């Protein structure tokens, strides 16, 4: 029987730990037009509804929409369990990999070419997907936030 999962947002401790991880990794924030040239930002809009998580990607003049194969309930359980570990300072790379490792292909596979070409990624989320730390999910074997500047 599945354990009942609290659907609340991450606690302050979990968020603080994530911010420390970002800072330690050297993550930086840039603006879309910082170089005065073309916008090389990948915009990923995420929406949850009707038992599905849908993603819409915009990169320059190209767009792609797709549905994530995992259910919102499964995503919520995995991220909630990860946040609980973070709150207790028991999150290791192995724990993150265990909880989020299966999401690389469903989240980023359809837009891998966009991610390769993008200089940064901006997630546009709704009130349901705010609890998912999409930037912790691996892209090509490493957490996305270690490879690209991320904004929400």
CA distance 91 to 115: 27
Would you state the pLDDT for residue 92?
73
* Mean pLDDT (whole number) for 42-57: 93
* Mean pLDDT (whole number) for 71-90: 81
Q: pLDDT category, 15, cuts 50, 70, 90?
A: low
Would you state the pLDDT for residue 32?
44
**Is-above-0.85 flag for pTM?**
no
* Mean pLDDT (whole number) for 28-57: 77
* Mean pLDDT (whole number) for 25-53: 72
Would you state the pLDDT for residue 5?
45
More confidently predicted of 13 and 142 = 142
What does each C-alpha distance from 137 to 62, 75, 126, 131 come to in angstroms? 23, 12, 18, 13
Q: Indicate the average pLDDT of the chain.
A: 79
């Amino acid at each position: 029987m599945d354990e009942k999962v609290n659907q609340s947002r991450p606690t302050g401790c979990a968020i603080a730990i994530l911010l420390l991880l970002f800072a330690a990794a050297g993550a930086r924030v840039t603006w879309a037009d910082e170089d005065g040239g073309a916008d090389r930002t990948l915009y990923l809009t995420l929406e949850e509804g009707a038992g599905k998580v849908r993603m819409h990607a915009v990169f320059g003049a190209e767009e792609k929409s797709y549905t994530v194969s995992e259910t919102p309930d499964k995503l919520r359980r995995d991220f909630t369990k990860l946040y609980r570990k973070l709150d207790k300072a028991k999150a290791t790379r192995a724990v993150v990999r265990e909880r989020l490792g299966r999401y690389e292909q469903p989240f980023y596979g359809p837009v891998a070419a966009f991610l390769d070409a993008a200089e940064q990624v901006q997630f546009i989320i709704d009130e349901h997907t705010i609890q998912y730390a999409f930037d912790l999910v691996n892209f090509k074997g490493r957490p996305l936030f270690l490879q690209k500047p991320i904004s929400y």
